Amino acid sequence: MNANLADDALYRIDMMQVSASDDPSPCLGLGLAAAPPFDAGAREALKRIARQHEPVPPGSRLHEAGEPFTAIHAVRSGAVKTVRRDASGEERIVAFHLPGEFFGLSAIADGHYATSAVTLTTTAVCSLPGQHLFRLACEHAGLQRQLMRLLSGAIRTEQGQYAALAGHNAEVRLAFVLDQLRARMNHPAHAGATLRLPMTRAELGSSVGLAAETTSRLFHRFTDRGLIEARGRRITFLDPLALHHLGAPASAAEASAAAARAADHLPVVDSTCS
């Protein structure tokens, strides 16, 4: 069926991204998402300023909200959560970060980290000191471009999460985040293999605004329907496609025929003010 083909293509892309990010030092690829037009010089220079950290135990705090910005970080192995403490003292999870993904990007704006970063499992990260990175970006256009893409991609991801959260019920929200995790954890779309979640039910729920109990109940429901099989943190995706479609309402619909529209329907008053 047509829908199946489209879905397969989607998942293949996911897998490529993740397998590419198996690179032990994502800092050197800078997120690599799309085009990697890196001249060798830029990559070499990145290598010089990148700091490779050795693994730290679960629960380690990598940076705290409010601390002055020093560097952006990427996960080499393991998993990290970024959290915000709200006025009532509760800790709310902003995002999870898996191998190959960057965090701490929101600190560039005003020179202070907006979130705290905590490791969920034994985790190794690498970091790119801001000062050096920005200097380098001045010299290498490709690097600058890729850095912009990285930041822009983070905005897009946040927007997606936000849209997923707003106006969808618990079931869709959890399906969405589980599907996301599966895709990002280098897990094939076809049924079968098992994988170990790095976070608790409470954390998983908190990341989409659900109570731990609700999350547990939904796990049960998904199991009943044959979508997944879960024992503790071990989860098996029995029907990843169904799970994906369940969470799909939260994803943006593809704009099909938007190409035809020209971009100049805004009247230009003063285009090249001398």
Within residues 47-66, the interface with DNA by CB under 7 A covers none
The DSSP output letter for 197 is -
Residues ≥6 apart with Cβ < 8 Å to 90: none
Of residues 109, 192, 194, 225, which one binds a copy of itself by CB under 8 A? 109
**What tokens appear for 206 in the block?**
């908190």
Residue 151-170 contact track with DNA, rule CB under 7 A, x = bound:
----------------x-xx
Chain length of the chain: 274
CB atoms within 10 A of CB 143: 22
Report in angstroms the alpha-carbon separations of 100 from 1, 17, 118, 162, 228. Answer: 33, 9, 16, 22, 26
Shortest distance (Å) from residue 234 CB to a copy of itself: 26
Per CB under 7 A, 121 contacts DNA: no
Of residues 18, 65, 185, 191, which one binds a copy of itself by CB under 8 A? 65
Of residues 75, 120, 137, 178, which one binds a copy of itself by CB under 8 A? 137
Of residues 60, 77, 216, 251, which one binds DNA by CB under 7 A? 216
Q: Is the alpha carbon torsion for 106, 104, 75, 162 positive or negative?
A: negative
Shortest distance (Å) from residue 231 CB to a copy of itself: 27
Of residues 108, 170, 185, 202, which one binds a copy of itself by CB under 8 A? 108
**What tokens appear for 113 in the block?**
């980290």
Q: Which residues bind DNA (CB under 7 A)?
A: 167, 169-171, 200-202, 205, 209-217, 219-220, 230-233
